[in-house]
Structure 1
Amino acid sequence: MRFLAIYRAPETCEPPTPGHMAEMGKLIEEMTNAGVLLATEGCMPSAAGARIRLDSGKVTVTDGPFTESKELIAGFALLQARSKEEAVEWTRRFLAVAGDGETELRQICDFTSQPELAAAGELAARA
């Protein structure tokens, strides 16, 4: 099973120290060697981003920073785990290193193991 781990941190959090980066590097190496971590990246501050919304056919673009949010997406990881419980455990270990914030864990749809979703996806692609 694959999971997307979306890490949210306070917008005002401090940049990581070299020691903190080394600790995170060790965890990333362990997760990669275990075959759990497929990809991971951090995100730039929201001031460098934009939100794009479609509402009733009208597109609006709002440039950052997004001051109305207390926590913003700071990074993501793509995990390969045998179960949701295993993905949760790896995420707990990540948060112990990352510090304050939260991670939303979402299982990724696997069309090959769910034929009903694959059929719906094929219909949507033809439309």
Structure 2
Amino acid sequence: MRFMILVRATPDSEAGVMPEESLFAAMTTYHEALAKAGVLLDANGLQPSSKGWRVRYENGQRSVVDGPFADTKELIAGYTMIQVRSREEAMQWALRFPEPFVGQPCSIEVRQMYELDDLPPSKAVERFRQISVNGR
């Protein structure tokens, strides 16, 4: 079972304020533990939305909307992907996640990822199964 731990953005992360060294150290220790346990798939921080864009779909048309995006509670500052045996194990790892932004309200969100076996069989799913992404 794969899970993604999403770190919600804050006004500071959207302003490009880098975390204190102590937070980097705590995150490194946490991710070392994930790696040692063999459950870490990927992890990274995201640059502020001012350096990104969205593609908007409307009436069959696409348009590009440049950042920044106003509502930080809807933005993601970083993520960690893990592969574990159960929802409970994922929850235990999530509870150990270091507080992302000390001194200000913040949250992480954990979501289970779909596996191809979760989807109903179809030609498109079988075609997707043939695509090899990072050995998957």
Aligned sequence identity (%): 36
2:44 is the alignment partner of 1:41: yes
1:7 aligns with 2:3: no
- Distance in 1 (alpha carbons) for counterparts of 2:111 and 2:89: 13
Match of 1:122 in 2: 126
Counterpart of 1:12 in structure 2: which amino acid? D
- SS at 2:12 equivalent: coil
CA RMSD of aligned residues (A): 2.2
Match of 2:72 in 1: 70
Q: CA deviation at 1:39?
A: 0.5
Normalised TM-score (structure 1) = 0.81
Task: Read off the aligned partner of 1:108 and give its amino acid letter.
Answer: M
Contact 1:24 1:97 in 2 (8 A): no
6-15 or 38-47, which deviates more: 6-15
Structure 2: gaps (5+ residues): 130-136
- Kindly provide the amino acid, as one letter, of the partner of residue 7 in structure 2: Y
What's the counterpart of residue 21 of structure 1?
A: 24
Partners of 2:128 and 2:26 lie apart in 1 by: 44
Q: Verify: 1:108 aligned to 2:110, yes or no.
A: no
CA distance in 2, matches of 1:57, 1:21: 43
Q: What is the deviation of 1:118?
A: 4.2
For 1:77 and 1:117, locate their aligned partners in 2 and report how far apart those are by CA, in whole Å: 27
1:117 & 1:77 partners in 2: Cα distance?
Answer: 27
SS at match of 2:9: strand
SS in 2 for 1:97: coil
Ranges in structure 1 where 5+ consecutive residues have no aligned partner: none
Distance 2:11 2:63 in 1: 23
Q: Measure, in 2, the Cα distance between the counterparts of 1:124 and 1:12.
A: 39
Structure with greater proportional strand content: 1
Q: Which TM-score applies when normalising by structure 2?
A: 0.77
